[in-house]
Structure 1
């Protein structure tokens, strides 16, 4: 009975610690939405005057659309997170002996990584950094994140799936490989969103769905043993969702602003931060199922095994006001052995449209966007974005099925993330 009372009291204390900061965080998230949605229209002309603008190739007009407005939502997010510090640590501000310095350092360095990625993303928008060099940007920005993980946790042990435990045991310490994995996670999250882009509202829309998915997971896990890590994640996800929804309102079809690579990098690093420091990096990847598919599908063109045009965006048909598959043209004999294997594999599984014109072959570009247009036919841009976001939601449902009902098939250790 004493143990039950102690556990009950512990839960009551946890609830007291969680409730006030969480409510404050929700209120700040709503305020950040209101500020972002109002300030973006006021800054559009300033971006155009600074030559940060583009022309929407999917429209019949040639109006200038301000570019890189993701920096605005990112900046407001960072300001919001700084203003939230007294609420997050208010219970311990007056007692230096009980102040959670380790949690505070983790919080600050998480913001530092996100801030670095925001600045590097904006630099990319301004300087147009080559694609291969873009891989270095999240690697640099993730260094503070990896340092705080090393100082605070330095846990590099992974649970072995049931079928392999007879040979490897219950767990394996993979050492530095785990840090390489976390660095690669940051690189993947930032670039995966950037690759699945090109139609109004898609970059921000998919990011909002991922953020809500992570927040839903965190709320479920608040009743578990890792409630502190999930509360830490919620502190970031709720304001992020508020600022991103505000940006989506202006980026939805017909977009009055473009978000730029700045938003993609800022979003990816935010997801990597909460996944790594919240100890659910594998679960975070589950919410990227459409992005993982799109990346794997894009590999032949990204690594030049199949000719890759500068832009793989779907084509806009001004006559029908619909988006159509964009294509790439090549000679089959010009491909290397690996390229021939991949192109035939994609052809077998109906992942490409194969048109032979004399000695040349015409296929759709290898992106999830073009694949949807291949399967469902030409679509209006707003409908195309909606279809892709529905796929993102279905990916979230699949992620929760894998994380909870199916995980027990391979793992039976409490707290697997």
Structure 2
């Protein structure tokens, strides 16, 4: 990969800023977060105007409605960004936390403590709210951040970052702790090649972006987010509960990674569940892509293709299949899951235990909507993303997951 002078200069500036952040107190970081929130509030008009220009360009280009929804900012969403920064300020500071510690028989004291990564790169698509969330989480965890947003949100991201940097200046912390990385697509590859300057890279977006970063980055990557999430309605499930969970998980916000994309229904539950479910889904505007057994319970079901079982729709579309057993449901999930969030609705404790033990995913839910797989909903405050890998972090990534550790070893003259 070729090295872009701008990327190198930005990464070096971020590394210098990260060294200051590593020794910043919680009070200094929290004050900066509140100052960033104040600056973003003052910049609301400029941010919304910039976002309107981005949205207009996206609509003129024929961008899918689900992506336009991710791109669009409203006063409420800006207020959510502001509140997110303040919420992060209220969270405990993970830096310096002792993960574990002990004293060896020779008197040497050993402590494993949390420390910042240093410089974090975030590569993401649309969703300018990620700009503020990522900046806030990185700052609180002592990291400088390089934000590589998509061209579709270029104006929005620039306006948000300008406000955040104003807040940092007001708080007396280095403005280069938060930087937007501009430029053509090739700059993303240059950021991925900045090993030694950037400590970790986190992609947030569609499958294509994540796959490209995972496959080609020389910088260590934390893989996040593609969500082909399943909801399995067990033979013993309460139909009303299952329907309420399904509608929430599919329709409350279909354009996000924790929305349900595939419905699996036990054959014994299908007669008492699917007729009402198909009617309710149709009324909600959902197109069901189902197998023949599903189609037998209501009109309007589109025949499912093999591709439907692997599709993250991010829209009001849903794949559906009738299965003959819990084992068949688990086998289907194993074949098609992206390892994000998988749900069972059941009144059987043994079925719930088998499902949670056998399904391999970052989050497994029993009788609850997959929309709860979110840092805020789980009490972490804002999240940087949902990791679907197994190393370092898995599931919603809050502040502790934005740190590494080091060992502090203290003696009184002992030698080996």
What TM-score do you get using the length of structure 2 for normalisation?
0.28
Higher strand share: 2
Higher helix share: 1
